[in-house]
Every structure is written in structure tokens, then in C-alpha cells.
Amino acid sequence: AQSVTQPDIHITVSEGASLELRCNYSYGATPYLFWYVQSPGQGLQLLLKYFSGDTLVQGIKGFEAEFKRSQSSFNLRKPSVHWSDAAEYFCAVGNSGGSNYKLTFGKGTLLTVNP
Amino acid sequence: ETGVTQTPRHLVMGMTNKKSLKCEQHLGHNAMYWYKQSAKKPLELMFVYNFKEQTENNSVPSRFSPECPNSSHLFLHLHTLQPEDSALYLCASSEASGSVGEQFFGPGTRLTVL
């Protein structure tokens, strides 16, 4: 069965600093990978996704992620964090077979941004 | 309205009450999902509907009863809930449940069971 691990429950960075959120997945075949962001009181918004092709994917709000098959990782990065990036971030992996295509989510990483 | 909407946004109910959560998607999708989001736990998939047919029930207790009258609307009927059912309930939609792609989420209903 597929699984997602986000090792960091809570990360604090200063505004303007760089950010990397870690995500490791377990899946037997080629994964479909996603990063979602959830602001307080809101639903999940898709930041970016990887299906195939270039392993470095660009998303919204200046985020990018790199798929590394050898490390089973899909880490999210941003070169300079803004206070508005404070939110919870979820990595997800989608299976590619069966009648129901399912997303499996990690437990999330809460990002705090200090001024 | 655009995207996925959910009503009510907040709900407080007693253990003997009956209430319903509503979800509507304006994206022309054919698959809809209910998720439960509890503190410090991953999102839990509850139900999947594809073209109005239920295709997944992830061992959800019968006190949660979903209904999907058409591809745009999804309900979650609640009765005789327990305090541990307090959580954020998220609705999502996608093009079809068998299609690879992203899911679009609504803002959720924050449920508190007293």
C-alpha cells in the first residue's frame, strides 16, 4: 500500500529565508505526487503536481518541488518565504491503477513564518 | 459560485441530533469525495462517488450516510454521532474517480459533537 511521510511536524522560518519541506513516499510503481497547502479555516489548495517528465516542477506562489526516484522523495522548496506562506502543507501520492484513483496524504507540516 | 462549496461551514450538534452536510461542485466533474480531517492525523478518505454511484466506503460507521443525487451535489447525513466524530469534513471533486489527476477541495465543515 502507498504511504507518505512528512518527517517535520512543525517548521519555523524567518521571512525572506529559504524553505524546504520534506516528503518521502512509498509506492511500488511510478507515483503521481502532489503538494497541497491549507490555510487556517480553509480547504486544500493545490500548489503543484508531478506526473512525469521533468523532475523539477514549478507551482503557484513561487514554490517548486523535485522528484527524486532514488530517494523516494518529493521535497517542496521556496527560495524566499513570505509571511503569507504560513499554513499547513500536505504531500500526497496518487495510485495509478484500479477503478478508484486514490490520494494518500501525509500528516502535514505546519509552517510558521517569523517577521 | 465557483469551485467546490460546502455548507454549513460550522456545525455544533448533540449526540442525538440529525444533521446534513452539503457539498456542491461547479467544475463539471464526475467524481466526488468525502474526507475527514482530525488533528494530528492524515486526511482519511471516507466515501467516493463516481457518476453518482458509490464506489468506495472506507469502513465508515453507519452513523455517517452519504447521498449523491447527481454529479454536482454530495451530502453527508449525520445521526447519533460521537464526540470523537468532531473534525473538519472536507469535500472534494475530480474529473472521474478512475482518472489520474488532482482533486479540488472545498473549504470544509467544522463539526463539533457535544
Residue B31 · residue B87 · CB < 8 Å:
no
Q: With CB atoms and an 8 Å threshold, state whether A104 touches B42.
A: yes
Arithmetic mean of pLDDT, A4-20: 96
Neighbours of A18 (CB within 10 A): 10
- A2 part of contact set with chain B, CB < 8 Å: no
Which residues on chain B place their C-beta less than 8 Å from a C-beta of chain A?
4, 6, 40-43, 45, 48, 50, 55-56, 90, 92, 94, 97-108, 110
Find chain A residues with C-beta within 8 A of B4's C-beta: 43
Q: What is the 3-state secondary structure (H, E, C) of chain A?
A: CCEEECCCCEEEEECCCCEEECCEEECCCCCEEEEEEECCCCCEEEEEEECCCCCEEECHHHCEEEEEHHHCEEEEEECCCCHHHCEEEEEEEECCCCCCCCEEECCCEEEEEEC
Q: Give the span between the Cα atoms of A114 and A112, in whole angstroms.
A: 7
Question: Is it true that the peptide bond before B69 is cis, omega within 30 degrees of 0?
Answer: no
DSSP secondary structure code for residue B100 in this structure: -
A44-97 tens-digit pLDDT: 999 999 988 899 999 999 999 999 999 999 999 999 999 999 999 999 998 765
Cα(A40)–Cα(A31) distance, integer angstroms: 29
Which uninterrupted H or E stretch holds B73? strand B73-79
- What's the mean pLDDT when you consider all of chain A? 92
What is the model's pLDDT at position A98? 58
- Which residue among A34, A98, A102 places its CB closest to the CB of B102? A34
Asked if the C-beta of A44 comes within 8 angstroms of chain B's C-beta atoms, the answer is yes
Per-residue pLDDT tens over the stretch B11-56? 999 988 899 999 999 999 999 999 999 987 889 999 999 899 998 8
- Residues of chain B contacting A108 with CB distance shorter than 8 Å: 42
Average pLDDT over residues B78-103: 89
| b/e map B48-80, b = 16+ CB within 10 Å | bbbeeeeebeeebeeebebebeebbbbbbebee
Distance from CA of B93 to the nearest CA of A (A): 12
